[in-house]
Amino acid sequence: MPSGRVSATRILLALTALVFVSAHTTYAQSAPPAATTTVSPDQATLLKNTEAFVRQLFAWGPSFKLDLGPLGPSSSPNFYAVPIKVTLNGQGDTGVFYVSKDGKTFLRGEMYDTSKDPFAENRAKLHPDGSPSKGPANAAVTIYEFSDFQCPHCRLLYQTMKQIEAEHPDVRIVYKSFPITQIHPWAETAAIGAHCAYVEKPEAFWSMHDAIFDNQEVISTENIWDKLVSFATAAGLDSASFQSCLASPEAKSAVAADHALGESLSITSTPTLFINGRPAIGADKPTLDQYISFASSSRPTSISTSPSPPTP
């Protein structure tokens, strides 16, 4: 295995318990407000001590470059949210952890404000306008699917979603593109092609969507353009108009907008879905069924933090 890949793997393994949980944390709450760049002597000491602790905890020696801070607010008034960036041999990752303001407690995990609906902010960011969708517009349950046409797990989800659609016809499904170009070189072009199909004829999107996933194994960076044109023709689209769209900066910008939305929701892998705002990573059907069933039988409500009276 190339040394660069080994380095990236070492970082990802070291950050598993740190970055992974922080991604879930930010699903349920927006990124902390930008913190002031002015650091008091006490805060500077706290950051220095925290860096020393984190290096000890994860065995990050001098070859690992760590950037901590700035300190930001968290859901608890007693803790700072501390962004971290870790770099090794030019490759790195980011995350967030929490440190008590007295510097005595380090917390990695999910932190929620129990007085709020944990998924309300996700729902506020997710809108179906301008995106391909299936199902009733007034559905009680809406699934937003962020997917990558070259991703093998997304192809598995494609099969799973066929079952979901058949078993839950009252659910609305909204598709968003999230091509991970670092590892999937033709995914962005495929996403642009699918968007162009939607622009030309909305119902043609799903024909294009299905054709790409059905032929995923035979598509390559060399033939993606020809394959998309072939799929578009089979879907009844005008070839010249489709190719013009495929080459347009507007179509590329539309895919980039989906990707930016996914990043704002802290998506780092595909497929990632949101069922009425609740994140679900992967194509596990029992989990999706569970989330759909729960969303169907409940409505978001304000959560009271007042303690219940003792039972007499």
Write the pLDDT tens digit of every residue in 88-114.
988 888 889 999 999 999 999 888 889
Per the CB < 8 A criterion, the answer to whether 173 and 166 are in contact is no
- Any idea what the Cα angle at residue 163 is, between residues 292 and 254, rounded to 5°? 75
Q: Which amino acid, 5?
A: R
For residue range 10-66, list pLDDT tens digits in order: 454 445 444 434 433 333 333 344 444 678 999 999 999 999 999 999 999 999 999
Phi/psi zone of residue 69: left (φ > 0), alpha (ψ -120 to 50 degrees), beta?
left
Domains and CATH numbers, the chain: 3-107 (3.10.450), 120-297 (3.40.30.10)
pLDDT of res. 300: 56
Please tell me the pTM assigned to this model: 0.77
As a whole number of angstroms, the distance between CA 217 and CA 219 comes to 6
As a whole number of angstroms, the distance between CA 219 and CA 268 comes to 24
